[in-house]
Amino acid sequence: MTRAPALTLPPRPYLPGKTERPDEAIFEPLKEGLSPAMTPEEMAQSAAFLGGKEAFAQGYFWEAHELWEAVWMVLPPASAERHLLQGLIQLANGGLKARMGRENAARRIAALADTALREAFLQGQERLMGLGRAEVEEMRNHARAHTG
């Protein structure tokens, strides 16, 4: 079994216009191997998906977005998992906007995230890519808590 590359985060989260943008090459090893041929379960165990979760949990919203977008791009169109990733990406974007003090943008993006996440769980599944509704709600609250 090949060991997934470890997530290396910059010393502080990227805030456009306030901190230096990290070299996106640091994320490339985590994105390698993502393929539309993978099942959603395999993608849920990918370094990109798990790295995005870790970055998000640490308040690195821009970085989480970068990693999750790579997963979103290879998921089947209109699938529950793709809606989930779209919602998670929007949560990260909303958290970033909240941290930047752009509350109106954060609220607008939170509404987009809510729509995508509702769509993800519409098909009656309790868990998608290892996340249930309760964990997603915790992530939503985490993103909204990062203001100022």
Sequential DSSP letters for the chain:
-PPPPPP---SS---TTTSPPPPGGGGHHHHTT--TTS-HHHHHTSHHHHHHHHHHHTT-HHHHHHHHHHHHHHSPTT-HHHHHHHHHHHHHHHHHHHHTT-HHHHHHHHHHHHHHHHHHHTT--SEETTEEHHHHHHHHHHHHH---
Overall CATH class of domain 46-145: mainly alpha
Query: What are the tens digits of pLDDT across the range 117-145?
Result: 999 999 778 899 999 999 999 999 999 88
Query: What are the tens digits of pLDDT across the range 90-105?
Result: 999 999 999 999 999 9
Region of poorest pLDDT, from 2-16, 44-58, 86-100: 2-16
| 0.85 exceeded by pTM | yes
